[in-house]
Chains A and B, each alone.
Chain A
Amino acid sequence: GQQLNQSPQSMFIQEGEDVSMNCTSSSIFNTWLWYKQDPGEGPVLLIALYKAGELTSNGRLTAQFGITRKDSFLNISASIPSDVGIYFCAGRPGAGSYQLTFGKGTKLSVIP
């Protein structure tokens, strides 16, 4: 089946630093999504990307849908303690597909 390779697996950063994480795949994806999971909660959608090359921002978060449709990155600028959590990339393999394929997640720790 299709797989998403998400990196890094974990990150420890100082408050105020910028963060970057990415996902790659050997297959084309139709949609790229970035989710955040807080402890004890389910994943919450942060950003959705629908077109190759699309660059979208949501506050301090910026994400891009790669031109080849096989990769995406998420940047967080000026990190704060509440950014702590697990970030997942996810993709829809085809138009009309309801099924999401997820990466393994990036665990982010922010040191105050």
Chain B
Amino acid sequence: EAGVTQFPSHSVIEKGQTVTLRCDPISGHDNLYWYRRVMGKEIKFLLHFVKESKQDESGMPNNRFLAERTGGTYSTLKVQPAELEDSGVYFCASSPNRDPYNEQFFGPGTRLTVL
């Protein structure tokens, strides 16, 4: 069974540009999460989808970040316009059904560098 995949693995953009990150969760997993790790800091929760609905977006930093999960399968996270402080590693994770104690399986992350 394929794990969580993320694309691209790396992205280098200039301040003010737009970047879209993609996450493909494990097939059949209803729950999809986005997390971010800024250099040297903790991994921070951004938001949680259940199927196509946003269940919790309390961790989204500001309105420059837009996450979607149309059709309840893959998800995209768009940053527009990107700022220097958006640099970091963006992780996606997924878990099955509605039990919050189910393990969250993480993807390899997308390393975003904003110059």
On A, residues with C-beta under 8 Å from B are 3-4, 31, 35, 40-45, 48, 50, 88, 90, 92, 96-105
Chain B residue nearest to A41 in the complex (CB):
B108
Q: How many A-B residue pairs have CB under 8 A?
A: 56
| Smallest beta-carbon distance A44→chain B, Å | 7
- Closest partner residue, chain B, to A99 (CB atom): B45
Q: Which residues of B contact A (CB under 8 A)?
A: 4, 31, 33, 35, 40-45, 48, 55-56, 58-59, 91, 93, 95, 100-101, 103-104, 106-109
CB distance from B69 to the nearest CB of A (A): 15
Query: In the assembled complex, which residues on chain B have CB atoms less than 8 Å from the CB atom of A43?
Result: 43, 91, 106
Closest residue on chain B to residue A90 by CB atoms: B43
Chain B neighbourhood of A31, CB < 8 A: 101
CB neighbours (8 Å) of B95 from chain A are 98
B93 touches A42 (CB 8 A): yes
Known contacts A44-B106, A99-B56, A101-B45, then 14 further A-B pairs from the complex at CB < 8 Å, ordered by chain A residue: A40-B108, A42-B4, A43-B91, A45-B103, A45-B104, A88-B42, A97-B100, A98-B31, A98-B33, A100-B35, A102-B35, A102-B43, A102-B44, A105-B42
